[in-house]
Amino acid sequence: MAETQGETTGPADVYRQFFSLERDVLVLSLAMFAFSLGFQMTNRFLPDYLVFLGATGFVVGLYATLGNVIGAVFPYYGGVVSDRFGSRLSLTLFGLLSTLGFGIWLAGAFVPAIDLGVIVVEPWIWVFVGLLFAQGWKSFGVGATYAIVKQSVPPDRLARGFASTETFRRSAFLLAPLIVAVLVADSLMPGFLFVLAIAVVFGALGTLAQHFLYEAEDTIGKEFEGFGQIRSDLRAMPAPLRPLLVADTFVRFANGMVYVFFILVITQLMGIGLSITLPFVGAISLSPAAFFGVLLAVEMFVALVTMAPTAKVAEYTGLKPVVGLGFFVYAIFPVLLIFAPENATMLVLLFAFSGLRFAGLPAHKALVVGPAEQDAGGRVTGSYYFLRNLIVIPSGALGGLLWEFASPELSFVVASVIGMVGVGYFALFGQEFEAYA
C-alpha cells in the first residue's frame, strides 16, 4: 500500500485506487460515504431549520455547543462499545442510531409546541435530541482511523495517505449540498423535509450494507484506551504536538463560535440568492438556502482538487507551512464573510478561498500522528482530539451569545481575532515533523 499511496498526486488517482481496496475497507468506505452524505445534507442547513422552528440565535449557538460536547465525549464511549461488542455489531448499532437521529430531525417539523405548565417544549428541541443520535456512527473514534493510515504508509508519505482517505470521504461533502440546493431551490421548506427523508434512507442503506457485508472480527476501537490513559499520554506527547495542539485549539475555538452561523449570514442577514442562465437549461433562480448549498459545493470542490497536490507540496516545503496556511484560512474567513459585499460572485470566490482550509488537513493529520510511536498512534490522536474538543465546547454558546445580544459582526470579528492568535502562535512555536524536515 505504501507504493500505491506514494503515487497519489490528484483526486482521480484516489478513485482508481478505491476499487482495489480490501473488502472490509471497501465496505467501511462505502458506509462512510453514505453517512457523510446524510450528515452533510442536513447538518450545515440545520441552523436555518432551527430558526424556522422558532429558535433564536443564542439557541443556535447552544446547538453548536452540544455538537462540541458530542465531539469530545462520544469517541471514547464509541471505543468502549467497539471493544466490548466488536466492530461489526457496534457499527450496526451506530448506524441505527444515526438513522434514528435523521428521523427525529424530520419528525420535529410535525410536532407542535408542548405546554407542560412550567415550561413549553418548543419544536426546535427535537433538533437537539436528534443530534445526540445522528452523530452515532462517527462515535467509534478517530484514533483508530489515524493509526491505520500511520501503519499503512511510510512516515514521509503520511500527508498523501491522509489525502487519499479525505478526498474520498469528502466527495460526499461535495455532492450533499448540491442535492440540497436542488430540493430547496425555491425556499428552505418544504424541500428540506425531503432532504431529511433522503438522509434517513442513506442511513438505513449504509447500516444494512455494513452489517451484512462487513466481515472483520477485530475491533477498531481498541487504539484509544480511555480517560485513565489520557493524562499519561498528554505528558508523553511528542514535542511537535504541543504547540500544534495549542494553536489548533485557538483556531477551532474561533471556528466553533461562528461555523453554524455561516448559513444565517447568507439566508438571514444578506438574504441573497442566485439567478443565472445556463445553456440548454435556461434561467435558474435559487433561494438563499439553495445558494448556500452551491457555495458549500464550491468550497468542497476546491478542497478536493487541492488536498492531494498540497500534500505532495508538503513533501518539499515541510508540513508546517501547509498546516499554517490552513489555520490562516480558518481564522480570516469569518471576518471576510461577515463584511463581504452582498454580491453572488464575491461570495462564490470567498467560499472558494475557504476551501483552501481543507488543503492543509492531510498535512495537519500527518503532523498529529506522525511523531507518535508506531503502536501509539491511536492513543496519542485520541488524547489530542479529546483535549482540543473539550476546550472548544463553549465556543458555540459564546458565539451565539454575541450574535444574539451584541451583534453578528462582533461575534465574527472576535472569532477571527482568536483564530489569528492561534495562527501567530503556530508560526512562532510550531515544530516540523522530522520526516518532512
Per-residue model confidence (pLDDT) at position 236: 66
Q: Are 267 and 45 in contact (CB under 8 A)?
A: no
Cell (9 digits) for 39: 450528515
Per-residue model confidence (pLDDT) at position 8: 47
Domains of the chain, by residue range, sit at: 2-216+225-436
Per-residue model confidence (pLDDT) at position 340: 96
Q: Are 89 and 140 in contact (CB under 8 A)?
A: no
Per-residue model confidence (pLDDT) at position 78: 63
Domain 2-216+225-436 has CATH 1.20.120.420: no
341-360 burial, b if ≥16 CB within 10 A, otherwise e? eeebeebbebbebbbbbbbb
Per-residue model confidence (pLDDT) at position 83: 56
Task: Please state, in angstroms and rounded to a whole number, the distance separating the CA atoms of residues 170 and 176.
Answer: 10
Q: Which residues of the chain are modeled with pLDDT < 70?
A: 1-29, 75-88, 137-169, 214-234, 236-237, 280-281, 369-382, 433-437
DSSP-derived secondary structure for 162-224: HHHHHHHHHHHHHHHHHHHHHHTSS-STTHHHHHHHHHHHHHHHHHHHHHHH----S-S-TT-
